[in-house]
Amino acid sequence: MSNRTKDITLDIVEAVRDVLRRHEVTFDEYRAGFQHLAKTQGAGEIPLLIDVFFNSTIVEIENEKRRGSHACIQGPYFVQNAPNVAETLAIRDQDAGHPKMVMRGKVTGLNGQPVAGAVIDVWHATPDGKYSGIHDNIPPQYYRGKITTAADGSYECRSILPVPYQIPNAGPTGELLETYMQWHSWRPAHIHYWIHADGMRDLISQAYFEGDQYIDDDCCNGGGSEFMVPEVYEGDVRVMEVNFTLDPR
Ligand code: MBD
Ligand code: FE
pLDDT in tens, 4-26: 999 999 999 999 999 999 999 99
Residue 188 near ligand 1, beta carbon < 6 Å: no
Distance 142 CA to ligand 2 centre (A): 14
pLDDT reported for residue 225: 86
Of 131, 109, 107, nearest to 194 by C-alpha is 107
> What is the predicted ipTM?
0.97
Bigger pLDDT: 225 vs 143:
143
In the predicted model, what is the mean pLDDT of residues 107-120? 97
In the predicted model, what is the mean pLDDT of residues 38-46? 96
> Helix 27-42 crosses helix 46-64 at what angle (to 10 degrees)?
90
Q: How many CB atoms lie within 10 A of CB 16?
A: 11
Neighbours of ion ligand 2 (CB under 5 A): 75
Radius of gyration of the chain measured on its C-alpha atoms: 20
Per-residue pLDDT at 202 exceeds 90: yes
Q: Is the dihedral of CA 78, 81, 84, 85 positive or negative?
A: negative
Q: Which residue of 60, 144, 187, 205 sits with most ligand 1 atoms within 8 Å of its CB, as the best mutation to test the pocket? A: 187
Q: What is the Cα–Cα distance from 16 to 226, expressed in whole angstroms? A: 33
pLDDT reported for residue 2: 87
Of 23, 52, 26, nearest to 40 by C-alpha is 52
Residue 51 near ligand 1, beta carbon < 6 Å: yes
Residue 190 alpha carbon, nearest atom of ligand 1 = 4
| Residue 21 contacts residue 146 (beta carbons within 8 Å) | no
CA distances from 176 to 9, 92, 179, 182, 183 (A): 24, 32, 6, 8, 9
The pTM score is 0.93
Per the document, the length of the chain is 249
pLDDT reported for residue 196: 98
Query: How many percent of the chain have pLDDT more than 90?
Result: 95
* Structure confidence by residue, pLDDT tens digits, 162-201: 998 999 899 999 999 999 999 999 999 999 999 999 999 9
pLDDT tier for residue 1 given thresholds of 50, 70 and 90: confident
Q: What is the Cα–Cα distance from 168 to 160, expressed in whole angstroms? A: 20
In the predicted model, what is the mean pLDDT of residues 37-57? 95
CA distances from 81 to 78, 89, 119, 140 (A): 10, 14, 12, 9
* Structure confidence by residue, pLDDT tens digits, 217-244: 999 988 778 999 999 999 999 999 999 9
Q: What is the Cα–Cα distance from 191 to 56, expressed in whole angstroms? A: 16
Residue 111 exposed, middle or buried by CB count within 10 Å (0-12, 13-18, 19+): exposed
Residue 51 alpha carbon, nearest atom of ligand 1 = 7
pLDDT reported for residue 223: 79
CA 195 distance to own-chain centroid: 13
pLDDT reported for residue 24: 98
Residue 75 near ligand 1, beta carbon < 6 Å: yes
Q: What is the Cα–Cα distance from 52 to 224, expressed in whole angstroms? A: 14
Per-residue pLDDT at 111 exceeds 80: yes
| Residue 167 contacts residue 187 (beta carbons within 8 Å) | yes
Average pLDDT value over all residues in the chain: 95
pLDDT reported for residue 224: 78
**Ligand 1 atom 1: residue of nearest CA:** 75
**Ligand 1 atom 7: residue of nearest CA:** 75
